[in-house]
């Protein structure tokens, strides 16, 4: 028997070693163990915003893998399609965080447990009742075969009537620009919702005005295009109207990692809860601004009521 889900995502998760002091990595003697990964962050963000997310993945059969599994399950993510595998260590990465919230990532994810995934791990019944299948460019960058798995999963999702949401999330430490561009172009005709950062749009299409990015992506057949512009908000189009959503000023910028994942979760959650495209842009901007004010990969992902308060839709009593 399968649970009824709102969204499903596919991807790697890893232990995030968060520095206990700001500055260059070589001068940080202590780190705090956390859980991270773009797709996991997205799933957690959706759960906190009131959706029922499912996550497909593999973890190492070790204590780090068991920690991530328990953490995701505790956050309300369905982990019935997350398995443990022997002979693979759960991936790890170290964070370097500077005083302005900017950071660098140092990955140790060779021989990722997700290499044990195969087409047999994707069951049609799991997708049957869901509404959105969300993928990012991170998982296909880990191993060449993952690209074929993503394409297979996309077709399975489309056959079951799901919308396909895609965040390019280009990590040039993981693959070349040519590989990222080739893969992105191969799946764009199947993408319904594109959630790309402005820098990623430039990588994929070359430098041009933001409205031209939107037009180019529509030409691939993408129905809803969103360009995330960080501190400048977001611009998006539903093929009929272009919307320019102003940013929300965060309380402080202490850690920018996870803001894009939070934006994605905010946008998808808002759409599935019945908000208009324009309202979803504004909602997602609010979520992104809240994420950057908290240290950690997903600690700043808010609950639905907290976003409503930022939007002025709800008054929360703090004392």
Give the whole-number percent of the chain exceeding pLDDT 70: 98
Domain boundaries, the chain: 7-11+39-55+121-310
**Using CA atoms, how far apart are residues 56 and 310, in angstroms rounded to an integer?**
32
pLDDT at 1 over 60: no
257-262-266 Cα angle (round to 5)? 165
The reply to whether CATH 3.40.1190.20 applies to domain 7-11+39-55+121-310 is: yes
Catalytic residue set:
261
Closest CA to 256 of 78, 79, 41: 41
**Using CA atoms, how far apart are residues 270 and 265, in angstroms rounded to an integer?**
8
**Using CA atoms, how far apart are residues 262 and 122, in angstroms rounded to an integer?**
25
What's the pTM value of the predicted model, to 2 decimals? 0.94
Secondary structure element (H or E) that encloses residue 94, with its range = strand 92-97
Averaged pLDDT score across all residues of the chain: 92
What's the rounded mean pLDDT across residues 130-140?
A: 96
Q: What pairing do the DSSP bridges indicate for beta strands 132-136 and 7-10?
A: parallel
**pLDDT given for residue 155 in this prediction:** 96
Q: What is the pLDDT of residues 228-280, one digit of tens each?
A: 998 899 999 999 999 999 988 888 887 788 889 999 999 999 999 999 999 99
């Amino acid at each position: 028997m399968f649970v009824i889900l709102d969204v499903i995502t596919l991807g790697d998760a890893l232990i995030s070693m968060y520095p206990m002091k700001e500055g260059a990595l070589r001068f940080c003697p202590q780190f705090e163990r956390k859980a991270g990964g773009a797709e996991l962050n997205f799933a957690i963000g959706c759960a906190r915003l009131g959706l029922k997310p499912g996550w497909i993945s593999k973890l190492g059969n070790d204590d780090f893998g068991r920690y991530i599994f328990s953490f995701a399950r505790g956050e309300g993510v369905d982990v019935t399609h997350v398995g443990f595998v022997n002979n693979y260590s759960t991936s790890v990465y170290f964070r370097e965080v500077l005083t302005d919230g900017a950071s660098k990532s140092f990955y140790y994810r060779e021989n990722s447990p997700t290499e044990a995934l195969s087409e047999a791990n994707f069951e049609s019944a799991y997708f049957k009742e869901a509404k959105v299948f969300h993928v990012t460019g991170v998982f296909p960058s880990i191993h060449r075969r993952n690209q074929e798995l993503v394409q297979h999963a996309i077709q399975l999702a489309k056959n079951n009537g799901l919308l396909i949401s895609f965040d390019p999330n280009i990590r040039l430490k993981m693959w070349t620009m040519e590989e990222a561009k080739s893969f992105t172009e191969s799946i764009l005709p199947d993408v319904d919702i594109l959630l790309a950062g402005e820098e990623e749009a430039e990588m994929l299409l070359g430098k041009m005005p933001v409205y031209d990015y939107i037009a180019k992506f529509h030409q691939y057949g993408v129905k809803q295009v969103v360009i995330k512009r960080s501190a400048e908000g977001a611009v998006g189009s539903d093929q009929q109207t272009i919307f320019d959503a102003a940013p929300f000023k965060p309380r402080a910028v202490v850690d920018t990692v996870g803001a894009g994942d939070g934006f994605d979760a905010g946008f998808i959650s808002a759409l599935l809860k019945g908000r208009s495209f324009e309202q979803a842009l504004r909602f997602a901007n609010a979520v992104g601004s809240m994420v950057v004010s908290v240290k950690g990969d997903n600690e700043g992902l808010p609950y639905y009521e907290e976003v409503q308060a930022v939007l002025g839709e709800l008054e929360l009593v703090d004392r």
